[in-house]
Amino acid sequence: MNQWHKYKYHIFFWTFWGALLLLQDSISNYLQGRFEQTFTWHYFYWFVLHMVLVTGVTYGYAYLLKIVPYSGNKTKWLLSSLALQLSVTAVFSFFRTYVTELLFGSLSAEYLSSFLDYFPWLLRTSLVFMIVGFGYRILLDYFEEQKKRQTLEKMALVAELSSLKNQINPHFLYNTLSYLHAQAEPLSESLGEAILLLSDMMRYSLHDTDETGLVSLEKEVSHIKNFITIHQLRFGNKLAVEFTVEGNVTSKRILPLVLISFVENAFKHGKTTKAEEPVQIQLQITPDSSLVFTVKNRKSEGPKENSSGIGLNNVERRLELVYPNSHQLTINDTKHYFEVNLVINHV
């Protein structure tokens, strides 16, 4: 049922076009006194060939525009369009003349024309259906953009609801953590430090985005450091973790809680106590202001630790929505190792 709903407009359109073509040829043959020739194998072959031509050009050009968009390099688009048109025209001309003669012989002699006779007609026909394909691509892009906008609106609604939930007495939460920190510090310096770090992490998660939904990269880096420090405190500084930052992170802004999700995933699924194979976390700002973030860890064979992270699938969707054409996310998942490499252009 879903497949029918998806393709019904295509079927209706091409059925209408085929019926229109059949009606036109029937009237033409009737006026020329050869109506019976409309219902021959030769005509059926020509009719099928024509339908293959027009559907192939339409969908082929729509797909070509996805690879070589009109809004991109105009020269590349023009050359690609001409190459498609000439290729389709040449192939159809070959089938319309030589293959037809081979299949039908003298029966088709009166219908056959030379390659040069058919070439202009084929050019016009292919051009018309390239325009149809162009319109089809515009419709596809429009519906895709609408779908993306609906997804963004849903995510914004979910984020708003989450924000409302998080704003239920945040001051009470911070005041409580401050109280616990003050009470715990005389008893255990490490416990007091952990509570203070936790307070900073929660404050960052709830309130540090701007009107664009982005955060300071410096704060994201501090958030990662706090996360690592808390885990080190939990496990008596026995975790093997290397976190390096290269380049100037000041004045850079980024989508929040993306980098930490990859780090959290490494702690959740990785072996973090093996000194010779530490969890490697690298952040680099390149000279062209691109961000390169890599996390590599050896997989743990034991039970996995629960995580409060938003999940890698959700991270991928958020990246696609906010950086649709300016990021590359590569995940290398092998038997023993898991590696994530994220590049965001011009942060």
pLDDT in tens, 74-85: 788 888 888 887
Query: Average of pLDDT values for 68-91?
Result: 80
Q: In what order do the strands lie in the sheet containing 337-344? A: 241-246, 279-285, 291-298, 337-344, 327-333
More confident residue, 165 or 193: 193
Inform me whether the pLDDT recorded for 219 exceeds 50: yes
Confidence of residue 273 (pLDDT cuts 50, 70, 90): confident
Q: By percentage, how much of the chain surpasses pLDDT 70? A: 74
Say what the pLDDT of residue 308 is: 43
Please, what is the average pLDDT of the chain?
79
Query: Average of pLDDT values for 177-191?
Result: 70
Instruction: Tell me the CATH class for 216-344.
Output: alpha beta
Q: And the tokens for 336?
A: 């023993």
Say what the pLDDT of residue 21 is: 78
Say what the pLDDT of residue 68 is: 81
Confidence of residue 1 (pLDDT cuts 50, 70, 90): very low
In this structure, are residues 263 and 229 in contact, taking their beta carbons and an 8 Å threshold?
A: no
Inform me whether the pLDDT recorded for 237 exceeds 90: no
Confidence of residue 307 (pLDDT cuts 50, 70, 90): very low
Other C-beta atoms closer than 10 Å to the C-beta of 215 total 22
Q: CA 19 to CA 22: how far, in whole Å?
A: 5
Query: Average of pLDDT values for 262-283?
Result: 91
Look at strands 327-333 and 337-344 and give their pairing. Answer: antiparallel
Q: CA 239 to CA 270: how far, in whole Å?
A: 11
More confident residue, 57 or 341: 341
More confident residue, 289 or 109: 289
Say what the pLDDT of residue 289 is: 92
Query: Average of pLDDT values for 287-296?
Result: 95
Query: Average of pLDDT values for 3-26?
Result: 79
